[in-house]
Structure 1
Amino acid sequence: MRRAWPLTARGTGTGVLALACFIAAAQLGSVQLLAFGVFLTALVVVSLIALHITRRDVSLTRSSSPTAVPVGDGVRVTVHVGVRTALPTTPGTWEDRVPDGLEGRTDGRFPALGSGLRGGDRAVDLVYDLHATRRGVHWLGPLDLTIRDPFGIARRVAEVGDTTRLIVTPQCIELPPLTAFAGATGGMLQATTTRLGQGTDNLIARPYQPGDSMRRIHWRATAHRDMLMVREEEQESTPEATVVLDRGKARWGADAADRPGADEDFEAAVDACVSAVNALVRDGYAVQVIDVDGTPLSEVVPGGEQSAVAVLVARFATVTAQGSTHLATLAHLWSGSTIGPLVVITGALSTDDVDALAPVPAHSVHPVLLTTDALSDAVERAAATGWYATSIAPGTSLRDAWLRVAHADVVAAEVSS
């Protein structure tokens, strides 16, 4: 129950008029004014009593469609309110509480409901639309239900129901392929043999094991060896890619560590991160998402598993800036090894940061560097050290930026020819 002035504008006017009647009756000695004042006062008192002695059991369930919505999209919320009361109810108003980060009209007129003595509960569905403007986990509710007496003199504001969670995820933007086909730049395709007993199409004869399909028997080798033989297949392993989201607080605004959606640059970086993962997974890469110090930010997302991408996007609804790891740490993560495509997403990028990252491109077949705030000529200097670098400052097209780094070799070849 929320505390509020218990009288409507009509009720307040009635009370003021009653008080004026009492004062005038005392000054003029008018019995009629005194009686009228008593009548108005009794009307207000009866309205208050009638409003509070009538028992109303209110139940509420709230649902949203969808349950998770990207920033910039809309969501429809349905609030199912059931009221059980012995007497018919009069029209009222309702308002559902909505936090910052969600916009839309969340109030309206609550209809009158008949008596529930014969038919049980009386229910009504309240529907409204919201527009998501800030990433994070938001809580809808509770609902404020305002009930009035039949005369419209008194009102009662009831706080109904619990809160309901609504997840606002980063924007996952469709990006073009990083390469013409999965693994083209990765150099990560390796021949591996299947496990015994899988019963798949094979190229090399081996002894039969329980679990192998009889249809896979290699009859020529069986006749030659005088024992059942099956074929063993060579397969290509899933190509691998790595996406690095730099969460160091020193390279973002002061609000980036406070709550999701507070810093514009960090939001652009998070959008770029999930979009890059989605593009790489769609192209067949198994993607690992890490922080600058190598800390995994999610499970490895298998190639082609778009459902796993959806889980990652939902998880990134709450990621914030934290830590103070220097970008130079990246240079030590892959020393002595070569990895597939590497996408590094960072905030403020200085020429000193570029110098610290200079050894990294030598360890990746396609190193991509995306920055939301390039200082001086940092992007050009990064490109000179081997990075496919570009800016993704807020307000720029992430798709266009991705095209510049995804097909830089093709563009360069066309220019040179």
Structure 2
Amino acid sequence: MRTGTRPTARGWVFTAVGLVVLVGAPALGQRDVLRLGVLLLALVLVAAWSTGRAARTLELVSRSKDELVEAGGAATVRLSVLGRARAGVRLVVEDAAPLALGGTTRLPVPRLRAGETLDLEYRVRPETRGSYALGPADVVADDVFGLVRSRRTLGTSGVLDVLPRVHPLGELGLGEVGGARGSSAGAAAAAEPDDVSIREYRVGDDLRRVHWRSTARRGAVMVRSDEHPGRPDVVVLLDTREDAHAGRGAGSSLEWAVSAAASASAHLQRRRHRVRLLHDGAYDPPRELDETSAARGLLRSLARLRPGGADGLARSVAQLGRTEAALLVAVLGDVDEDDVAPLLAARPLGVPALAVLLRTREWAGTPAPRGRDEAAGGPGAAHPLERVRLVLARAGWRTAVAGPGESVPDVWARLTRADGHGHHASPPPPSREVPS
């Protein structure tokens, strides 16, 4: 643990004056002034000894925090210190935190008897999702004259995961979006009395999931699996390409997309569907996690998500082509017809699909550029995003277009109000996007 003791600005002045007096007074024959110089230096030395000793008396016993907090919410960080705080030295515990959490927090320590434990706490209110480091904590000791400051690192850092905002959404069941899979899934669920599937025991499985009746019948240890036949996978495809989004901070199109993906995932998880997040060519969380761990892992993944590379969407689509799913939800940034063509081919046959298309350039504060046909004034010209929407709709997708001034629940409501043929039910794009 790092320890350091050094004079303050006032301490340096006392030290300099004391040294000058100590050297000059004998030459001038001023013995009384010499005693003053000795006194000044002695004060600095005593202050250094007392603050250094006081800083070593405290130990950090524990650090606790809210495991997860939603952006815009409040989290309480608690620190417990053990030791002794004497009179004559001011002790402060400083806990390092990024500016997004309000910066370093200073927590004064009152007088403590030897062996006494003190609980300190402070609150943070992050506005932007992310994974933030907390700590390490330092104890800072100052003498009463403000001559010397001693600092000692107590160690023990932590991480606070700030989740994206999750909005309540309107109801959407698999049966409401059509497809034979929804019906067959429901039939399978009805046929299974325990509403679970049974499989052989694997190392690491919770023994509380052992299905004794099946174990006795088959002569091998069988466990209940979270792979419910009536709750098939829902894939949420999130376009995280950095060049497909615009804007900065909490008001960027990427943050809107992450919030939409989180809201859709939470909505479907509450309906007891297994949701798998697909972004940047990988699924998160792993399929093997149980239902509770998978929900928590998905939220943590969204909290820690960073913009991806230019090939992120293509790699995700390649993964999608090898996946069985009962519903596909895609939240896409700046895309064109070439981007969505592989997506249409990768969609599993008969699987209902929903797509949210972002008017990304509006997050940058600039109007979207016109297509080549439109710029040329050709008849029937359409905005590029409108052409993408039409391509998806003709392939059976339900679509909704979102801009920076729209809320996630409103866009979701338009998406779920689309008719069974994939026609868009949202208001038409602004007149500046679609030429007259």
TM over 0.5: yes
Distance 1:125 1:328 in 2: 49
Deviates more, 1:268-277 or 1:307-316: 307-316
Determine if contact 1:250/1:324 at 8 Å carries over to the other structure. no
Residues 195/112 of structure 1: CA separation in 2 closer, same or farther (3 Å cut): same
Determine if contact 1:135/1:168 at 8 Å carries over to the other structure. yes
Matches within 5 A, 1:2-151: 6-19=6-19, 21-22=21-22, 25=25, 29-52=29-52, 56-84=56-84, 90-103=89-102, 106-114=105-113, 116=114, 121-149=115-143, 151=145
Distance 1:12 1:101 in 2: 35
Bigger Rg, which one: 1
Aligned residue number for residue 192 of structure 1: 188
1:281 to 263, 269, 284: 269
Q: Deviations over 1:178-226 (max 9, x none)?
A: 3xx5522243222338789x699xxxxxxxxx969xxxxxxxxxxxxxx
2:384 to 371, 378, 387: 378
TM-score, structure 1 length as denominator? 0.70
Residues 250/7 of structure 1: CA separation in 2 closer, same or farther (3 Å cut): closer
Aligned residue number for residue 290 of structure 1: 278
1:237 to 227, 230, 237: 230
Determine if contact 1:103/1:130 at 8 Å carries over to the other structure. yes
Residues 122/291 of structure 1: CA separation in 2 closer, same or farther (3 Å cut): closer
Structure 1 unmatched ranges of 5 or more: 201-209, 213-234, 256-260
Determine if contact 2:239/2:313 at 8 Å carries over to the other structure. no
The aligned length equals: 367
Distance 2:194 2:3 in 1: 72
Aligned residue number for residue 315 of structure 1: 301
Residues 22/285 of structure 1: CA separation in 2 closer, same or farther (3 Å cut): closer
Aligned residue number for residue 224 of structure 1: none
Deviates more, 1:386-395 or 1:269-278: 386-395
Amino acid at match of 1:185: V
2:412 equivalent to 1:397: no
Determine if contact 1:177/1:283 at 8 Å carries over to the other structure. no
Distance 1:123 1:347 in 2: 52
Q: Secondary structure at the match of 1:83?
A: strand
Aligned residue number for residue 406 of structure 1: 416
Determine if contact 2:280/2:309 at 8 Å carries over to the other structure. no
Determine if contact 1:172/1:275 at 8 Å carries over to the other structure. yes
Q: Deviations over 1:61-111 (max 9, x none)?
A: 3434421112222211111111158x6663222311113542256113222
More helix by share: 2
Identity %: 27
Determine if contact 1:95/1:145 at 8 Å carries over to the other structure. yes
Amino acid at match of 1:405: L
Determine if contact 1:186/1:240 at 8 Å carries over to the other structure. no
Distance 1:93 1:4 in 2: 15
Distance 2:194 2:62 in 1: 50
Structure 2 unmatched ranges of 5 or more: 196-211, 215-227, 362-367, 370-382, 428-436
Determine if contact 1:292/1:330 at 8 Å carries over to the other structure. no
Deviates more, 1:398-407 or 1:380-389: 380-389
Distance 1:355 1:373 in 2: 19
Distance 1:193 1:39 in 2: 86
1:322 Cα deviation (Å)?
4.3
Amino acid at match of 1:264: S
Q: Secondary structure at the match of 1:348?
A: coil
Matches within 5 A, 1:179-218: 181-187=173-179, 188-190=182-184, 191-192=187-188
2:336 equivalent to 1:347: no
